[in-house]
Amino acid sequence: VQLVESGGGSVQAGGTLRLSCATSGFTFSTYCLGWFRQAPGKERERVAIIARDGATSVGDSGKDRFSITKNNGRGIVYLQMNNLRPEDTAMYYCAAAPPTRIWPYGLGSCPSEYNYWGQGTQVTVSS
């Protein structure tokens, strides 16, 4: 299993970034996928997840600013980040995990812990 993030960088507050995570080695369309972040000295935080059926959940820190989407045909998951703030500065990681049960297809079958992780991409937002 491989997950490779890209799209990070340095932007000013109010700017936009789109992170991409290219995957291989598992059946992409059947897995739960997520974006997480970790800032220095802080715990890892779940940013957004997307279930097999495309249902999404975005954490409070990204509400109304971030969105997660995926392309099942290409095996890529995206994180669109708008109106970035300095507090969004962190290393962003893509993760994947098989669902905890066959049914339901939505967020209810996504686990709390993820099995597979990428190496991360740095996002730095300056004020």
The per-residue pLDDT for range 9-26, each reduced to its tens digit, is 999 999 999 999 999 999
Q: Which residue has the higher pLDDT, 104 or 63?
A: 63
Question: In b/e form, how buried is each residue of 41-68, taking b as 16+ CB within 10 angstroms?
Answer: eeeeebbbbbbbeeebebeebbeeebbb
CA distance 93 to 53: 22
pLDDT tens per residue across span 111-125: 999 999 999 999 999
Query: Strand 56-58 relative to strand 45-50: parallel, antiparallel, unpaired?
Result: antiparallel
pLDDT at position 102 over 90:
no
| 25's tokens | 């080695």
Confidence grade of residue 104 (pLDDT, cut at 50, 70, 90): confident
